[in-house]
Amino acid sequence: MTDQAMTAALHQLTETRERLAVLDAREAAHFRSISDKLTQLTGLAAGLGEAVRDQGVILSALQDLDQQVAQLAGRITENLAGDGGASPYRSGPAPRWWKVHGDGREQALDKLKAWVSEVYRPGYGQLAATLGPCWDEHPLCLYGLDILSELWSLLYLQATRNPAALSAQAEFQARILPALAEQLMIETTRCGHAQARTSINGSPMRSRP
């Protein structure tokens, strides 16, 4: 092989090495990009898994709750009938939270806020303490607190109390209230508002497992 041929071969070999180096660098960059995307997807999947678990907790709390409320309402009705229907409180129509706006919504909220501040928070200790301050921005909380406030009013704003009323109060205290309080806690401690408060305060909010 002549010197000229040898030089050409070495030159071609050098060009090949340079091309391979460029390809290696490009593949390394692609690998890093793919790794970053996989990391992001892993984090997203973990977040979705937590959300699914949260929904499972809510569904578990909701199981048979409608039947419990219906049974409690039936006991209240029987109690009122036994007392000749005498009661200083009459439950009104439920607020239509999905469509009420403006002054109507504010009036309904004022009633709930008064009950939360005057009855719920002072009277129900650790259950009420789990309710986040952003509850009035969550429709789920509006529905739940409306149910709690109306049931409480029907149970406790009565002139007399017979065994049926006492049994209904026990049902409310032991089953209805804890189940709904659990929903309210999950809704207001794992939302965007709670995350914003955590970022501002610099420490995670404490919630029940």
- Determine if residue 79 is left, alpha or beta; phi over 0 gives left, psi from -120 to 50 gives alpha, anything else beta: alpha
Task: Read off the pLDDT of residues 24-76 as tens digits, 9 standing for 90 and up.
Answer: 667 667 667 776 776 776 676 666 666 656 666 666 666 566 666 666 666 66
Task: Report the candidate in 105, 104, 129, 103 with the shortest Cα–Cα distance to residue 116.
Answer: 129
Domain ranges in the chain?
1-63, 64-201
- Determine if residue 205 is left, alpha or beta; phi over 0 gives left, psi from -120 to 50 gives alpha, anything else beta: beta
Judge whether 80 and 110 are in contact, CB under 8 Å. Answer: no
- Read off the pLDDT band of 94 (50, 70, 90): confident
CA 160, 180, 111 angle in degrees (round to 5)?
A: 60
Task: Read off the pLDDT of residues 95-151 as tens digits, 9 standing for 90 and up.
Answer: 888 888 888 899 989 999 999 999 999 999 999 999 999 999 999 999 999 999 999
